[in-house]
Amino acid sequence: MSINKFVVDASIVVAYLLDDEKSAIADAVIGSLKRYKAIAPPFLSLEVSNVFLSAEKRRRITSEDRPRLIGVVKGFEITEESHSQERIFSRVLPIAAYHGLSTYDAAYLELASRLSIPLATLDKKLRFAAQSQGVFLFDGES
């Protein structure tokens, strides 16, 4: 499959940034940002920031690490696309209910499905749901 953009979720971003969550897939996906455009729902930055705070509480990172990590995330230039209330209730919520996903995860799937582009995620349940909906999974290779 030839692509020029894909949907990326927080699991990829976090696995790339945090040493204790390293993943070859996350490294390849983030490395592909030089060639492809990435998009995400509007809450990606909120999810990633929340992980930073949780990681600080668990002493996985320090508060001094946070500015550097934020700078790395900003450098990815991931476009966060807005979701209308109508789309959330008419499309995202039914996907979440059908697949037993959180509405946050369903928003990534809905975006990839609606735009007919691949999804990059490490979340097993989301990967399974994407495959069952015919959404291609992106692992950093075209």
> 6: closest CA among 141, 142, 123, 138?
138
Q: Residue 2 — pLDDT band, cuts 50, 70, 90?
A: low
Count up the domains in the chain and report the number.
1
Domain assignment present for residue 33? The answer is yes
Owning domain of residue 98:
5-132
Query: In this structure, what CATH number is given to the domain that contains residue 100?
Result: 3.40.50.1010
DSSP annotation of 59 = T
Token output for 67: 């500015």
Determine the Cα–Cα distance for residues 122 and 15; give it in Å rounded to an integer: 9
Alpha-carbon torsion (97, 101, 102, 106), positive or negative: negative
Domain assignment present for residue 95? The answer is yes
Task: Give residue-wise pLDDT tens across range 32-90.
Answer: 999 999 999 999 999 999 999 999 999 999 999 999 999 999 999 899 998 889 999 99
Asked whether residue 1 carries a pLDDT value surpassing 60, the answer given is: no
Domain assignment present for residue 138? The answer is no
Domain assignment present for residue 140? The answer is no
Query: What are the start-end ranges of the H helices in 32-75?
Result: 44-57, 65-75
- pLDDT attached to residue 83: 82
